[in-house]
Amino acid sequence: MTDQSPQPGEQSLPAGSSACESCPVHHKANLLKLGVDMQDWDYVVGLAGNPNVGKSTVFNALTGLKQHTGNWPGKTVTRAEGGFKYGDGRYKLVDLPGTYSLLATSLDEEIARDFILFGQPDVTVVVVDATLLERNLNLVLQVLEITDRVVVCLNLMDEAKRDGIVVDDRRLARDLGVPVVPTVARRHEGLDQLLQAISEIASGETKTRPHRIQNHPPQLKNAISTIVEQIEAIYPNLPNARWVALRLLDGDESIADSLRKGELGDLARGTEDETNRDLDLELEVV
Ligand SMILES: Nc1nc2c(ncn2[C@@H]2O[C@H](COP(=O)(O)OP(=O)(O)OP(=O)(O)O)[C@@H](O)[C@H]2O)c(=O)[nH]1
Ligand SMILES: [Mg+2]
């Protein structure tokens, strides 16, 4: 560890820093609705990944003993939250449920999706298993469709080496358009570089160029923009309306349901009114 590295769990920090107030993607009210209180923190970092890839190992290494668990609001799914300091920044780290995708076919996927989509974390770290890249990259590509503030933590590099698997992390970073940091989380290897990458994305120092599907056929492009217009007319502040439109076109019942019930609108309104947590919207979705 270098001098800049946090001590495990260090978070005895002066209150009142305003770094997050100038951050364009920081949506405190939305985060509060998702159960994440950002008072006294500059940045929020989500930790995503397939099951059993070392997320909790990374989480524990970065936050030490300063962590607590609770449930996601209104859900029986456990959430671990912790914090660390790096440089001048105070980072809140949220361990998301392990998921193979964000298509919300399970409660875990819905929670991870909503956090990334509506919580708009300053950084989403996607932990991947270097021995099972093909399977793990599915989630990475889905996250990249939603946000460009991503760091890939290429974990289990020791296992890959043992299995004779060589991963060209620089090439992967180039192809994905976001930083890729090789780690052996169990031995705390690569975590300094991971922290550095997280801080550079959080501060905006590193600009990413996320790999996204560009060549949609014209009909699909038209359909997307028509739906985006309609969504934005009803929910002007909804983050990532384009992603929501794509999911609707894909027949995603859970997103359609959220729109009908106004849950998406609830999150959209939060960006206007940071103090009202219990908005009761009566919206007609056409
Ligand atoms: N060899 C090796 N084992 C690791 C590494 N990182 C984590 N592990 C081990 O992998 C297993 C799973 O790690 P966890 O941190 O629990 O994984 P997780 O992603 O939180 O798992 P879920 O919460 O169940 O999705 C544990 O036995 C860890 O000790 C690593 O870099 N190398
Ligand atoms: Mg875990």
Q: Is 49 in the pocket of ligand 1 (CB under 6 A)?
A: yes
Stretch (H or E) spanning 68: strand 67-71
Q: What is the pLDDT of residue 26?
A: 59
What distance in angstroms lies between residue 82's CA and the mean position of ligand 2's atoms? 13
Report d(CA 179, CA 149) in Å as an integer: 10
Q: What is the pLDDT of residue 134?
A: 94
Q: What is the pLDDT of residue 1?
A: 36
193, two tokens: 């570089």
pLDDT tens sequence across 50-105: 999 999 999 999 998 778 888 888 788 888 899 999 999 999 999 999 999 888 77
What distance in angstroms lies between residue 280's CA and the mean position of ligand 2's atoms? 34
Point out the ligand nearest to the CA of residue 108. 1
**Mean pLDDT, range 13-25, rounded to an integer:** 39
What distance in angstroms lies between residue 87's CA and the mean position of ligand 2's atoms? 26
- Structural domain spans, the chain: 19-203, 218-270
Least confident piece of the model among 63-72, 252-261, 271-280: 271-280
Report d(CA 3, CA 250) in Å as an integer: 48
**Mean pLDDT, range 111-138, rounded to an integer:** 93
19-203 — its CATH code? 3.40.50.300
**Residues belonging to the chain:** 286
pLDDT tens sequence across 189-229: 999 999 999 999 999 999 999 998 777 889 999 999 999 99
pLDDT band at 279 (very low <50, low <70, confident <90, very high): very low
Q: What is the pLDDT of residue 128?
A: 98
pLDDT band at 277 (very low <50, low <70, confident <90, very high): very low
Point out the ligand nearest to the CA of residue 99. 1
**If you write DSSP's letter for every residue of 180-234 in order, what string do you get?**
EEE-BGGGTBTHHHHHHHHHHHHHT-SPP---------HHHHHHHHHHHHHHHHH
Q: What is the pLDDT of residue 40?
A: 81
Whether the Cβ atoms of residue 10 and residue 87 lie closer than 8 Å to each other: no
Least confident piece of the model among 45-54, 140-149, 199-208, 245-254: 245-254
Question: Model-level pTM?
Answer: 0.81
Which of 186, 188, 193 has most ligand 1 atoms within 8 Å of CB, for mutation? 186
Which residue has the least CA distance to atom 17 on ligand 1? 54
Q: Is 10 in the pocket of ligand 1 (CB under 6 A)?
A: no
What distance in angstroms lies between residue 100's CA and the mean position of ligand 1's atoms? 16
Report d(CA 24, CA 21) in Å as an integer: 8
Q: Return the ligand 1 atom nearest residue 98 CA.
A: 25
What distance in angstroms lies between residue 89's CA and the mean position of ligand 2's atoms? 25
pLDDT band at 266 (very low <50, low <70, confident <90, very high): low
